[in-house]
Chains A and B, each alone.
Chain A
Amino acid sequence: MNHKGTRYLPLVVTVGQVVIFPYYIIWLKEVSLTFTLFAWFFAAFSFAAAWGYQIAQSRTNKDHSYLMFIYAGMGIVYILIGAIKNSSDILPYAVILLQVILGLLQGYFRAWHAEQDTYHLHAVHHYLIVGCAMIGFSFVKIISPVVVITIFGILMCMCAVWELMRNEKKKTIIPGK
């Protein structure tokens, strides 16, 4: 609660993820060749998320959270999506890999987030912010899904840097305590 990072970063991540979700779906629909494949992509994401959630829950050292890597990982995946050319033969193979990585990271993040004191407050705030953001986005007509996804990727990378700085600060504070 005391750290701004713990207070705001998870909120940015949860809100951001819901906000880009519609864009992500549009992108995924464009790259899926059939509905079956689209559904399978989602299933892979969900299974991987369950796995990630469980990994986070079975951590022994709860203070050590690897959050920086989670943010950076998500950021890189979203930026990669922005860079992918749409009509390649191997695209579905790349997408399934990205779905698994994303699911794993999200599951892990959710499990960590649910354990935080701020979680219940965030849940309320995030619904309100998402609602307002989506109304705002509904007025923006011309942005392609890939642009929004890439911007979110960059934001996630910035979160990773923030988290890194926060960790460094924590390290310097603790020894001198």
Chain B
Amino acid sequence: MQTIALLVKKPWFLGSLVVVFVSVILWNIPIEKRKYGLTQSGLVTDYTGLLPERIERVVKAENRSELQRIVKQANVDGQQIAIAGLQHSQGGHTYYKNGVVLDMRTFNRVLEIDERQKTVRVEAGATWEDVQEAIQPLGLALKVTQSQSIFTIGGSLSVNAHGRDIRFGSMAETIKEMTIITPEGDIKTITREDPDEWMKYIFGGYGLFGVIVDVTVDVTENKLYTVQTEKMKIDAYASYFDQLLNDQNMAMHYARVSVAPSSFLDEMYVINYKQTEKRDYVTALKKERSVRLTKLALDIGRHGGALENLFWGTQKRYIASIDGKEITRNNVMRSESTFMEYTKPGRVEVLQEFFIPVHRFEAYMNELKNIIPANDKNEDFKIHNITIRYAAADPFTILNYAKEDMFGLVVLMQHGLKEEQISEATSIIQNWTHLTLDHGGTYYLPYYRYQTKEQFRRSYPQWEKFAEEKLRRDPNNVFQNMFYDYYVK
């Protein structure tokens, strides 16, 4: 006690205390989370904040009958409802001018797990993470999800998301049954065999055909995988992938293309997850790790030029270092996301995804070089990374992006918010979309709509059927959002 009292009298001791404490704080300052989403007053935005809009109010229903009452009442009052999960979609899909936003996050329970049948019944406002937490101790894992587990089930099915699995087809295929509230306010249980074909419109229906209340989803065993990584040239990828698909031991796969000036659209690496016989019950779900370091690396890459070469070099070294490691299926499906947070005033970072038929990949990548600059150091419009996934042909949904087996190129890009900067970005992305369409490809709809209405119609030729069915099933236009307003209406 006395020594402490003596020490406190020494300025050097207090000085050291401050230095140590401040260092601890500096290390623990959380990476800033984007401020977006629902507020009861003022403007509503989604993940990018590019489309602020005034809405009437946000409602949170406590139970199904309340949900049903809200929808029925909207039919009577001529009110418009938009449905929101976690609002990671970026083109105003979850709100509508002067409309009501149905916040689905209150429906977040895992209702039932059938270990024998390997199915899980879960409410639509729960996230994939909630499901993972419930099924991991039973040695079970999801069949298809995005690469992160931060999205709601309702939001993911409504955009018909896809991920790293190359065996199970589309996310829609993994859903056995679901409960919905139709635009007229009826509660319905639907299956894929349902003669009214509700599922066809609900999957990839962007919340325009009804509220998903709960779903029964097929799950699989939480296998342990061995990571296999390889560096290659772009022109070798399509045939490499063909072989990979024939190798039944390969469960999951993705790739990353270089956008660094020194190896621009020329070099890439692949990451495969190879089956082992082992099923895992014990490995904990991984948490966000090394966020600070990965964010720092990405921040360095964000500068472009030589720093982007450095970033690409670091990525390659990291990828080589994980070769041969083991990881559980659940953990492959929950990659880090916080390091991507970017909140610089006056700028925005957005995602776009272009789908390209597998056999057109090489020619497409060559022509892409004419559209985006190899070195964007001094450009306003910058590209930070391109990852590649496989999306198997999906003949089931109406707005299907994978008419045949496709590669999806997920692109993280950044641009300024001044009018001329936005129009420059729009024109580059429209040119890119044009090229994609010319190669028989499409683009993904949950992201910001830089594309023209014409490009939407070319990408999704069944849009007329979509619009027709929308009018038939929702004659009072109860379910509405800005996405529908812009593209379909």
Known: A43-B21, A85-B345, A88-B344. A50 touches B30 (CB 8 A): no
Chain A hits for B30, CB < 8 A = 33-34, 37
**B1 at the binding interface (Cβ < 8 Å):** no
Q: Is the CB of B25 within 8 A of A51?
A: no
Known: A51-B17, A87-B345. A93 touches B10 (CB 8 A): no
Known: A51-B15, A54-B14, A89-B343. A44 touches B22 (CB 8 A): yes
Per the bound structure, the CA–CA distance linking A167 and B39 in Å amounts to: 55
Question: Counting chain B CB atoms within 10 Å of each CB, which of A54, A58, A93, A103 scores highest?
Answer: A54
Q: Is the CB of B14 within 8 A of A47?
A: yes
Known: A47-B18, A96-B22. A54 touches B29 (CB 8 A): no
Per the bound structure, the CA–CA distance linking A58 and B15 in Å amounts to: 13
**A114 at the binding interface (Cβ < 8 Å):** no
Q: Is the CB of A51 within 8 A of B344?
A: no
Q: Is the CB of A93 within 8 A of B15?
A: no
Chain B hits for A40, CB < 8 A = 25, 28
Contact with B along A69-113 (1 / 0, CB 8 A): 000000000000000010111011100100010011000000000
Q: Is the CB of B14 within 8 A of A50?
A: yes
Per the bound structure, the CA–CA distance linking A8 and B345 in Å amounts to: 42
**A25 at the binding interface (Cβ < 8 Å):** no
Among B8, B26, B33, B344, point to the contact of A93 (Cβ < 8 A).
B26
Per the bound structure, the CA–CA distance linking A96 and B25 in Å amounts to: 8
Q: Is the CB of B26 within 8 A of A96?
A: yes
Give chain A's interface secondary structure class.
Answer: helix
Among A33, A41, A44, A58, point to the contact of B18 (Cβ < 8 A).
A44
Known: A33-B32, A40-B25. A54 touches B11 (CB 8 A): yes
Return 11 A-B CB contacts under 8 Å, by A number. Answer: A33-B29, A33-B30, A50-B8, A54-B8, A54-B11, A54-B14, A58-B11, A85-B345, A87-B35, A96-B26, A100-B18
Nearest first, the 9 closest Cβ-Cβ pairs linking A and B are A51-B14, A92-B29, A54-B11, A55-B11, A47-B18, A40-B25, A48-B18, A87-B345, A50-B14
- B positions within 8 Å CB-CB of A: 8-11, 14-15, 17-18, 21-22, 25-26, 28-30, 32-33, 35, 342-345
Given A37-B30, A54-B10, A85-B345, 13 additional A-B pairs, CB 8 A: A34-B30, A40-B28, A47-B21, A48-B18, A51-B15, A51-B17, A54-B14, A88-B343, A89-B344, A91-B32, A92-B32, A100-B18, A100-B22
